[in-house]
Structure 1
């Protein structure tokens, strides 16, 4: 086992887990924050790609480039929806729903690839669905207005877009992780530039700018470097275990620093969601294995 790679991935996942805490302190909306993140990711990882000499050996494949660009669209939408969810609900609730992505990958496989939905997959889906209702709060499902204002839709859309990114990325093989991320985040810059409201950057405090820079430099540049540098040296099962550092840290920060106190039903919902995900990831059959899901940018 590559201990150095394990440490790098653990650190990257732990830092990923604090993204929600940073997001709510930036003082800017989701679209503008994702735009900043895309710029930092593009610049930082392109520099790493160049200085490591990886660009000289890149195997460009037209089909994979087009596929990666579509992945980028879903990835950027995933970020925007997740950050909007953070604006409407607690980080713990949003992260829990966001991590339903592996379940949606199974559903997409059944719908688009005609893969047989196993009893295990159906059971996990039902468990996670019940958990999501508990965690958002049954009261929020009593009226359409409450339902839309709860942030549940944003969190659910982020999970669906993340699942779509994972689903499309499964067959990528020739492009390096640096090239893939460059294309995806560059797409984000093009997508968000026309709708960015640059006036939101006026009047920000020094603290706001520190959190914005932290989100860009630490959560995007530095973390992605650690992430990509580590996953290629580790078996999938180890990666699958270590990525759960992300939601654990997020929930701990939300509970300890932001004083989030889940109700009994919300606690049960969190247990059901992660129980269903663990059941899906660590007890897969040959057809419903989700071995590639953790190896995608979050």
Structure 2
């Protein structure tokens, strides 16, 4: 195994894991932050796409372009919902719930794609459901408004949209990773522009701008470059393992820097959720969308 791609992927996932910390320091709402991220990704990766010459050999297929556009819509919604979850709850809880996406792939696949629900799948779903109940602490909510305002709904919606990017991205095999992301983030710019409140950028501190630019250029541009550069050189199994660097870093930053202290029940819930996800990945490799090519890169992108 080439060590350089492994280091690149590990570094990419470690930086991805710090995005929740950066988000809280930007001082702007989720929609505006995702808009900045889409602009940075479109410019940076579009530049890489042209520099590498990949744009000259793209195979454009109407079906795949439509799939990429729909996939891009869910990818952008996934970011918006996740960042809104960061605004309402701890990074640890939000990231844990967000990583339920593979479980939603199982559920959506069995309902709409008529994929067979195995005992392994059912066990993973039940385990993660119990973990979600423990981690959110249903007993602390006195009303539906309290529950919705907790951020739980946003985190779950982000996981569902994440799952949709996995399922829809399955059949995209001809377009390169750069072309896919360029189209998707460009769609994000068009989607979010009508909802932008540019007034939120007025009066921001130098520190706010530093975190905003960092989120756009580092977490999107530079990290995606590292990700794409290493993706083809690593096996699916290795990528599936390295992807967990992301939540580990997020949880460590939340506990060490932001002083989040999960309760015993929340800790047990986190273990249940990640245990169920690991079990799913090990036993159900065929649901992992990523391949040694570019077809399923959304499986790993935050």
Structure 1 window deviating more from structure 2 (155-164 vs 129-138): it is 129-138
Q: Is the 8 A contact 2:23 2:215 kept in 1?
A: yes
In structure 1, the residue matched to 2:242 is 242
User: Deviations for 1:126-145, whole angstroms, at most 9, x for unmatched residues?
Assistant: 11011011111122454212
Q: Is the 8 A contact 2:177 2:297 kept in 1?
A: no
User: Deviations for 1:220-254, whole angstroms, at most 9, x for unmatched residues?
Assistant: 00000001111111110000000000000000000
Match of 1:295 among 278, 291, 297: 297
Gaps of 5+ in 1: none
- Kindly state the Cα deviation for residue 90 of structure 1 after the two structures are TM-superposed: 0.1
Q: Is the 8 A contact 1:105 1:166 kept in 2?
A: yes
In structure 2, the residue matched to 1:159 is 159
User: TM-score with structure 1 length normalisation?
Assistant: 0.97
Q: Is the 8 A contact 2:169 2:289 kept in 1?
A: no
Q: Trace 1:89-238 onto structure 2 (pairs within 5 A).
A: 89-238=89-238
In structure 1, the residue matched to 2:282 is 282
User: TM-score with structure 2 length normalisation?
Assistant: 0.96
How much is the aligned-residue C-alpha RMSD, in angstroms? 1.2
Distance 2:29 2:283 in 1: 39
Going from structure 1 to structure 2, the CA distance change for 1:111 and 1:3 (only over 3 Å counts) comes to: same
- Kindly state the Cα deviation for residue 282 of structure 1 after the two structures are TM-superposed: 1.1
Q: Is the 8 A contact 1:42 1:181 kept in 2?
A: yes
Q: Give yes or no for the alignment of 1:75 onto 2:44.
A: no
- Kindly state the Cα deviation for residue 291 of structure 1 after the two structures are TM-superposed: 4.6
In structure 1, the residue matched to 2:17 is 17
Q: Is the 8 A contact 1:239 1:295 kept in 2?
A: no
Q: Is the 8 A contact 1:35 1:189 kept in 2?
A: yes
Gaps of 5+ in 2: none
Q: Give yes or no for the alignment of 1:52 onto 2:60.
A: no
Give the total of aligned pairs: 296
Runs of 4+ in 1 over 4 A off after TM superposition: none
SS in 2 for 1:60: coil
